[in-house]
């Protein structure tokens, strides 16, 4: 992987179809053009996260890097429980994205839900096939599709901004609705960038460690540009009362800007977001699963490689689980809850990553390819800031911005409990079995002759 492919992997994971809905969630707390200010502040915070993860990845440039630096900072068992919970964000984003793509297809083509789900299965199969062919093919698909989606969304948004008849609503007054509304808007703005840091799990596929560092800094800038112009275009042409009840705001913007042509344009880009999200998600999460199995924290079958050096069982399992979770979302329609859960988990992992940097600055004495300037105070600020954002997001009602809800936190608690039980009950058995296999394979010494 070179810089272009690594950047496409990072940006493609973050900029999914759910990001279009993420902009609407920001508009709920920061109406009109004020959303652009929230996205900008969120982008500044994400640059700090990019620097923190760049330094951590430089210390442990492997597929299991996140588990290694978490283990050094907070202990191995806790690190495993956190990373397994964190890995669910990839599945959540894929499932929510699948539902939104299906809703967009149903809206334009007037297809039943079952047929829309078939589209999702086909797209999952395409991403699965690309990944099983090897990292070069998967990287090529990721590069082409991601840059097409980003450029296409930007072009239509710019055209919408110059559309006569619309007007910007609300000045740039982020905290006009109260401090809580401003914090919530920034928290959901962070979700637009969510999962961009997962590219660190492909460190072993990168040509040099600097490739991952460049991707971590370039991808947020691309997402910031595209999300900002999209938010401004929505504020310019579409009323929020129309957006609030819609699962496909990008289609509404396309129709408002260019009529049927614009709607079909955005539908094509929405379908393409499935490929960059599914393909990128399989690429990064499968490498983490492979590394966990290699360390005997998952069944060893997940560490087996095919002829293209791909952990085929990990990729196939991810595709199957994603299809199942997507079917559940299709049946329940609870995609907004997934948005809140994903945003909260991301804020939580950013707080933990900041804490890791604080502790490893004194615990790990080795050369750092990248070192954050004033890392200790900045990491301290990050730990406090993202902890506050975690609480604000985990207890927000995903359906009504004026109410509190424990539903997102409850889902996170269940995911964390399941991961913890797995670490406490299953992982020790896997490690004992690995030790027994190693002992049986070890050559026995012949008795000494008298």
**CA distance linking residue 219 with residue 79, whole number of Å:** 26
Q: Output the pLDDT for position 178.
A: 64
CATH number of the domain bearing residue 127: 1.20.1740.10
Q: Output the pLDDT for position 426.
A: 92
Distance of CA 387 to the CA centre of its chain: 18
441 belongs to a structural domain: no
Q: Output the pLDDT for position 219.
A: 93
449 belongs to a structural domain: no
Q: What are the tens digits of pLDDT across the range 47-64?
A: 999 999 888 888 877 766
The whole-chain average pLDDT of the chain stands at 83
266 belongs to a structural domain: yes
Q: Output the pLDDT for position 16.
A: 81
* pTM of the shown model: 0.83
167 belongs to a structural domain: yes
Residue 404's DSSP bridge partners are 396
Q: How does residue 166 score in pLDDT terms, banded at 50, 70 and 90?
A: low
Q: How does residue 362 score in pLDDT terms, banded at 50, 70 and 90?
A: confident
Q: Output the pLDDT for position 33.
A: 81
450 belongs to a structural domain: no
Q: Output the pLDDT for position 417.
A: 92
User: What are the C-alpha distances in Å from 262 to residues 140, 253, 254, 266?
Assistant: 27, 8, 4, 6
pLDDT mean over 149-168: 82
Q: Check if the beta carbon of residue 216 is closer than 8 Å to that of residue 10.
A: yes
Q: What are the tens digits of pLDDT across the range 86-131?
A: 888 778 777 777 878 887 887 787 777 777 788 888 888 888 888 8
Q: Check if the beta carbon of residue 149 is closer than 8 Å to that of residue 271.
A: no
Q: How does residue 22 score in pLDDT terms, banded at 50, 70 and 90?
A: confident
> Is residue 395 over pLDDT 70?
yes
Q: Residue 428 sits in which domain range? A: 3-433
Q: Provide the b/e sequence for 418-444 (b: ≥16 CB within 10 Å).
A: ebbeebeeebeebeeeeeeeeeeeeee
User: What are the C-alpha distances in Å from 388 to residues 41, 81, 422?
Assistant: 15, 22, 28
100 belongs to a structural domain: yes
> Is residue 268 over pLDDT 70?
yes
**Picking from 270-284, 309-323, 414-428, which range would have the lowest pLDDT averaged per residue?**
270-284
Q: How many domains does the chain have?
A: 1
37 belongs to a structural domain: yes
379 belongs to a structural domain: yes
Q: What are the tens digits of pLDDT across the range 349-360?
A: 889 989 888 888
């Amino acid at each position: 992987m070179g810089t272009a492919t690594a950047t496409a992997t990072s940006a493609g994971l973050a900029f999914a179809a759910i990001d279009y809905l993420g902009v609407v969630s920001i508009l709920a707390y920061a109406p009109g053009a004020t959303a652009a200010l929230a996205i900008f502040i969120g982008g500044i915070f994400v640059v700090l996260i990019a620097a923190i993860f760049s330094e951590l990845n430089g210390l442990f440039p492997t597929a299991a890097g996140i588990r290694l630096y978490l283990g050094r900072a907070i202990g191995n068992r806790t690190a495993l429980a956190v990373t397994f919970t964190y890995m669910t964000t990839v599945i959540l984003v894929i499932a929510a994205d699948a539902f939104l793509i299906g809703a967009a297809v149903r809206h334009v083509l007037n297809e039943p839900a079952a047929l829309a789900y078939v589209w999702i299965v086909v797209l999952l199969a395409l991403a699965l096939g690309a990944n099983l062919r090897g990292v070069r093919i998967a990287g090529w698909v990721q590069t082409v599709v991601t840059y097409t989606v980003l450029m296409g969304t930007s072009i239509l948004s710019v055209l919408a901004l110059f559309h006569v008849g619309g007007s910007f609503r609300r000045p740039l007054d982020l905290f006009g609705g109260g401090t809580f509304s401003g914090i919530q808007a920034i928290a959901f703005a962070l979700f637009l960038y969510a999962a961009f840091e997962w590219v660190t799990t492909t460190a072993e596929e990168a040509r040099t460690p600097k490739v991952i560092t460049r991707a971590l800094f370039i991808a947020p800038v691309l997402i910031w540009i595209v999300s900002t112009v999209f938010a401004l275009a929505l504020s310019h042409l579409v009323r929020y009362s129309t957006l609030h009840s819609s699962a496909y705001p990008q289609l509404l913007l396309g129709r408002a800007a260019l009529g049927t042509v614009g709607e079909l344009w955005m539908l094509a880009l929405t379908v393409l977001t499935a490929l960059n999200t599914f393909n990128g998600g399989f690429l990064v999460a499968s490498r983490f699963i492979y590394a966990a199995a290699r360390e005997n924290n998952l069944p060893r079958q997940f560490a087996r490689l095919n002829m293209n050096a791909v952990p085929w069982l990990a990729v196939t399992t991810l595709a199957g689980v994603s299809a199942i979770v997507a079917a559940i979302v299709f049946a329940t329609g609870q995609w907004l809850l997934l948005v809140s859960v994903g945003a909260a988990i991301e804020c939580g992992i950013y707080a933990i990553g900041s804490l890791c940097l604080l502790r490893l600055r004194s615990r790990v004495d080795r050369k750092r390819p990248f070192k954050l300037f004033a890392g200790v105070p900045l990491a301290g600020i990050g730990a406090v800031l993202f902890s506050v954002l975690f609480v604000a997001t985990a207890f927000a009602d995903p359906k009504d911005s004026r109410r509190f809800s424990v539903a997102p936190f409850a889902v996170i608690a269940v995911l964390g409990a399941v991961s913890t039980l797995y670490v406490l009950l299953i992982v020790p058995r896997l490690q004992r079995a690995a030790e027994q296999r190693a002992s049986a394979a070890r050559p026995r010494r012949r008795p000494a002759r008298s």
